[in-house]
Amino acid sequence: MANYRRQQVSPYLLFFIITSSQIGVGVLGFQRIIAKDAGYDAWISVLIAGVFVHVVLWFMFKLLSNAKGDIIDAHTQLFGKIVGSFFSLIILLYFIVAAISVLRLYIEIIQVWMFPTIQTWLLGIIILLLCYYIISGGFRVVVGMAFLSGIFTAVLYTLLFHLPHKYIHIDNIFPILDHSFIDLMKSAKQSNYTMAGFEILLMVFPFIRNANSCQKFAQWGVGFSTLIFTLSAFTTFLLLSEKQIEHIIWSRIYIAKLIQFPFIERFEYILISTFLIKVISILTLLLWSSSRGIKLIFKWKQKYVLIIISLVIIIVCQFLESRNEINSFTDYTSKISLCLFYIYIPILSIIYMFKKSGKAV
């Protein structure tokens, strides 16, 4: 990690990296998905999912600390250069798929709520050009964007949780624990896509100063994100009936229509527009990670890799036209995330720990 010393950032910024990569467009509509299995108890499922993320994050730190580098270093040390590069490419490909999912979901929201006639490719190019400009400034600029996104999250959700009291039905959430543990676990599994983003640690780890001893900042970041998701689900259930939640795709935007301030009208327009800050923060982290990883594997210049990835994203987004296609793509992204980071990474970490202990003997 000494090679990255000039580009390293302070440990506390890992908190903002984790929160900004986790809290994205999924938070605007995940309530409908998690409520399918657990109903109004689904907010408890979010807490359960948060516990799993904390555990997986611990495995990630063990793996990366032992490897003294990123996931590419870990794979190379464990499997060799050729096989290790193959496994690393799978994770880098996931980052690209996740970027496509985030960008297309946000463009869909803009097309539905604000500008129905705007072309997908046009908005995609504008957003990706902003991302390219930020990434060109280096990792510190990317982290600076994540820091701004974290501050924005705190301000935004202070406003979002200013609920219209006349629409609140406290009896919605009672009786608590009205569903079985199996239902709660199914709901927790459904929240996987929304909770994703912490896996960015696999690439940014070498760029955090004293990364081996700063796990607490990452865990605090996951804890903060889990709190935001839980409050978002809980307050949504206070305002909407189960039938409404079932049919409203973006429940937080719908609730934003109910929020009124003396100096602001159409708060949902402000919410969607300012959410661009969060989307760009997530995309820059994903694109930086994928382009840097491919650069390390193939020894290509990162700026050319970034251009190629951006073109691929624009082309794929153009093919995702209908709600069903976008929803299916998001579901596949969620399943890939579940397999890679909740199953593969813990197993890889355990294998690495056994290998290291064997060498020590």
b/e burial code for range 251-270 (CB count within 10 A of at least 16 → b): bbbbbbeebeeeeeeebbeb
- How many whole angstroms separate alpha carbon 92 and alpha carbon 24? 19
Per the model's pLDDT, the better-predicted residue between 164 and 25 turns out to be 25
pLDDT at residue 361 is higher than 50:
no
Please tell me the least confidently modeled range out of 5-9, 34-38, 63-67, 342-346.
5-9
81 phi, psi to nearest 5 deg: -65, -45
Q: Crossing angle of helices 345-360/71-79, nearest 10°?
A: 60
pLDDT for 58-74, tens place per residue? 999 999 998 888 999 99
Mean pLDDT of 159-169: 69
What is the radius of gyration, based on Cα positions, of the chain? 20
Residue 35 is predicted with a pLDDT of 87
Output the pTM of the full model: 0.92
228 phi, psi to nearest 5 deg: -65, -45
pLDDT at residue 2 is higher than 80:
no
Please tell me the least confidently modeled range out of 95-104, 239-248, 298-307, 345-354.
239-248
pLDDT for 330-345, tens place per residue? 999 999 999 999 999 9
Cβ–Cβ < 8 Å for 24, 102: yes
Using CA of residue 155, residue 161, residue 165, residue 167, what is the dihedral sign?
positive
Residue 4 is predicted with a pLDDT of 63
| Cβ count near 235 (within 10 Å) | 20
Percentage with pLDDT > 90 across the chain = 51
Which range is most confident: 89-103, 211-225, 315-329? 89-103
Label residue 175 by pLDDT band (50, 70, 90): confident
Residue 14 is predicted with a pLDDT of 93
Please enumerate in sequence order all residues whose Cβ is within 8 A of that of 74, keeping only pairs 6 or more positions apart, or say none.
63, 64, 66, 67, 348, 352
Residue 133 is predicted with a pLDDT of 95
Set out the domains of the chain in order of their start, with CATH numbers: 15-352 (1.20.1740.10)
Mean pLDDT of 193-213: 88
